Chains A and B, each alone.
Chain A
Amino acid sequence: QQQVKQSPQSLIVQKGGISIINCAYENTAFDYFPWYQQFPGKGPALLIAIRPDVSEKKEGRFTISFNKSAKQFSLHIMDSQPGDSATYFCAARPNFGNEKLTFGTGTRLTIIP
């Protein structure tokens, strides 16, 4: 019940296209859903996050869509650029305890010219 399932495992998108990564969870106690971007040899960096009281959050080219009833959330990267090529992790955190993050399995995104 603590798992966060992420798909796809890898994704290739043309420059200028839309990249979509999906995540699903089971634990209804999760109340904070961040996305992290990780470049090789670096730590995860917070990209954007959402709480379940809203269905969508947009920051620049990055949008999170959240479906509370389906327990799913997704990251959309509009106008994808080669610099977006990285591994993306969704994560979730419960509304109690010590704020431990549970990560998805990651999506390796490659933007091709």
Chain B
Amino acid sequence: EPEVTQTPSHQVTQMGQEVILRCVPISNHLYFYWYRQILGQKVEFLVSFYNNEISEKSEIFDDQFSVERPDGSNFTLKIRSTKLEDSAMYFCASTLGRANYGYTFGSGTRLTVV
């Protein structure tokens, strides 16, 4: 069964450093997402991406965040200057589109900011 692959599985970074979280969505999917889950809390929407541009972003997704699909397979989330409160699990997800409601989530990247 096709999978959404995320790397790395765990990243530790110092406050103020830049991090890039990587995702390889399912190859024929068209919509891509990043969600965040702070430990023990619910999964929160960050951003959606379609047709090479952001289609919606939440209030969490401020100027320190950016997303990119640099080639036909990778989808990245960059946090420019990490803060302690950015520590969370970050999940990438993809879906084929409106006619197919199923989302597939990756296993996540645990980001720890120290």
Point out residues on A near B: beta carbons under 8 Å. Answer: 32, 34, 36, 41-46, 49, 89, 93, 97-106
CA distance A36 to B93 in the complex (A): 13
Q: Assuming A89-B43, A98-B48, A105-B41, is B98 touching A43 (CB within 8 A)?
A: no
On chain A, the residues within 8 Å of B95 by CB distance are: 99
Q: Assuming A45-B105, A46-B103, is B48 touching A106 (CB within 8 A)?
A: no
Query: Is residue B76 contacting chain A, with contact meaning CB distance below 8 A?
Result: no
Query: Helix, strand, loop or mixed for chain A's interface?
Result: loop
- Of the candidates B4, B44, B50, B108, the one whose C-beta lies within 8 Å of that of A98 is B50
- Of the candidates A42, A98, A104, A105, the one whose C-beta lies within 8 Å of that of B55 is A98
CA distance A99 to B35 in the complex (A): 13
CA distance A103 to B95 in the complex (A): 16
CA distance A42 to B43 in the complex (A): 12
- Residues of B within 8 A of A (CB-CB), count: 27
- Of the candidates B4, B31, B41, B44, the one whose C-beta lies within 8 Å of that of A99 is B31
On chain B, the residues within 8 Å of A45 by CB distance are: 105
Query: Which 8 A-B pairs rank lowest in CB-CB distance, beginning with the nearest?
Result: A43-B105, A98-B55, A103-B43, A98-B48, A105-B42, A103-B42, A43-B107, A98-B56
CA distance A101 to B95 in the complex (A): 11
Minimum C-beta distance from B77 to chain A (A)? 14
CA distance A99 to B99 in the complex (A): 11
Minimum C-beta distance from B35 to chain A (A)? 8
CA distance A49 to B55 in the complex (A): 24
Query: Is residue B91 contacting chain A, with contact meaning CB distance below 8 A?
Result: yes
CA distance A87 to B59 in the complex (A): 26
